[in-house]
Structure formats: structure tokens, C-alpha cells
Amino acid sequence: MNLPHWQSLGAALLDVLAPEICAACGERRGRTAWAAGVAGPAPGLRSWHATHLCARCRDAWRQEPCAGACAHLPVWGACRESAILVTVIGAWKYRGARGLARPLAEILVPVLHAAAAAAGPAALVPLPLHAGRRRQRGFDQTLQLVSLAGRAAAMPVCADILVRRRATRQQASQDVTGPGRERNVAGAFAARPPRPGESPRLALVDDLLTTGATLLAAAAALASAGWQVAWGAALGLAARLLLDSGEALSVACGHGLAPAGSTATAPPADGRRQEVT
């Protein structure tokens, strides 16, 4: 039996019965160029998981990374958080479009390079899910994203340093302007100390940074275990976190620190990035 022939026939049949749709613009695969994403293994991700993103939407998010800060921590993102990015990440995390990890990792690679060029090399630490939520969801999306992007960016990934010891309510359900997000994640993380010979410089990576409360809670746990958190990275940064790259460099160098909870980092009125529409 010619297996590849049957596999391609099966793929063609599946495409007719359940066509793959771009999670951002709704275009159907076959009608436009498609994003292949970063290849290779990642925990819980299989080669047959469809990527669900067209090349046009991927390219719109893979331009010049934007810079920002969560309190004293410089952060870089692929783009400003938008309703479409939130929808795509929701399809990836909650609606079974697991293969989106591959094109999203492709989008994250230039962000990691920009952050390392500005704030120095560091090992990547994915923001972990609580074990209970990972079992419920069946996979850890940030671990997948960082495993793929770290390998493509030639940066080490350390997934055994940080744990989420307490299940927290989803941050998306918390008011972004109130103190609920800080309370929700306070003390939620724990970290092991550095081992002899291990570089203490780390970078925290999440999918979206809205207030940065989760990132800062994780950074505090790492710092108290003896690590240096040098920077953070995500696919999307909320407008309130954006800075120009000079200001972000200044934060990265330890100057011009934004006070905790400061909202004096408003974005330019015209927006810095073109969002996918």
C-alpha cells in the first residue's frame, strides 16, 4: 500500500469536509499563501496539527518588534494587543487550534532577537500553567510556543525553574485597571535556586502582556530564588505598556525606571504598529 498517497488523499478529503481557516482573517487555506510556522517537536504538539494562519496575517505581525516596560522590567512584543490577536490566541488556547503554536512561534522569533540585542542574552522561561489547568487543557501553550521559538532563535529554554503553585483565575476575567490582577497572582509562583555553573540571567515569556501583573509576580519569585530576570517577551503588549525603543533601552540599562503601577507610558496617539484587520 502506498501510504503517502493515502495520506495526501486523506488530507484532501479533510480539506473538503473541514477546510482549514485562518484564525485571524477567516480566509480558507488554498485561496492564499499559508504560514507553515516553525517546524520541530514541542510538548503536546503533533506534526498533523494545522497551523490555522495565512501568510498575510503572519507577516503583518512579524514586522518590527515593539518595546515596552512592566514596572522596572523591559519587555518586547511582536505587536500591540488587538482584538484580532486576542481572538487568535483564544482559538489556540481554548478552541483546539493547537497548531497555531507554529506560526505564533515564527512571529515570536524576531521579538526574542530584538530583546536579546537590546537587553542581553538570557535563557527563556515560559510562564507556566498550574498543573491542574494543564491537565484540564491537555497542553501548556506557552511551553509549546517557547520550545519552538527558542530552538528557532538558538536560545536556551529552561522549563524546570519556575512553577505555578496555585491555580489562579484567568487574568482575562479580571479588571485591567483594578488591583484584582495583582491580588490574583500574588504568591502564585515558586522557583528553584540556580545550580552551580548555571547562568542566573533569565527572560520570561508569555503570550500576551495586558497589565504585566503575572509577569511581575513570576519575576519576583525568580528574584527571591536568586535569579536575574533581564527582560520579558510576548506576542502582544497592551498599549499601556508600550515605550519607544530608546525608553525601553533606558529601562533595560537600569535608568529611567517606571514606578510600579505607573501608567505614564502611554502609547503614541496614532499607534505604533499596524494591526491586522
For residues 35 and 238, which CB has a smaller minimum distance to Zn ion in the complex?
A: 35
Q: What is the per-residue DSSP string for 38-64?
A: --S-BTTB-TTS----BHHHHHHHSSS
- Footprint (CB under 5 A) of Zn ion, residues 26-45: 27
57 near Zn ion (CB under 5 A)? yes
Distances from the Cα of 204 to the Cαs of 51, 57, 207, 233, in angstroms?
A: 25, 25, 10, 6
Element (H, E) at 77: strand 73-80
For residues 26 and 259, which CB has a smaller minimum distance to Zn ion in the complex?
A: 26
24 near Zn ion (CB under 5 A)? yes
Minimum Å gap between C-beta 201 and Zn ion is 36
User: How far, in Å, CA of 205 to CA of 163, rounded?
Assistant: 14
The burial class, CB within 10 Å (0-12 / 13-18 / 19+), for 154 is exposed
118 near Zn ion (CB under 5 A)? no
Q: Which three cell numbers, joined as nine digits, stand for 230? A: 533581564
- From 49-57, 92-100, 126-134, 163-171, give the range in contact with Zn ion by CB under 5 A: 49-57
22 near Zn ion (CB under 5 A)? yes
107 near Zn ion (CB under 5 A)? no
Beta bridge pairs of residue 34: 54
For residues 104 and 123, which CB has a smaller minimum distance to Zn ion in the complex?
A: 104
Minimum Å gap between C-beta 85 and Zn ion is 12
54 near Zn ion (CB under 5 A)? yes
For residues 25 and 239, which CB has a smaller minimum distance to Zn ion in the complex?
A: 25
Alpha-carbon radius of gyration of the chain: 19
Q: Which of 25, 71, 188, 190 binds Zn ion (CB under 5 A)?
A: 25
SS3 breakdown of the chain: % helix, strand, coil, rounded to 5? Answer: 40, 20, 45
116 near Zn ion (CB under 5 A)? no
Q: Give the residues lining the site for Zn ion (CB under 5 A).
A: 22, 24-25, 27, 54, 57
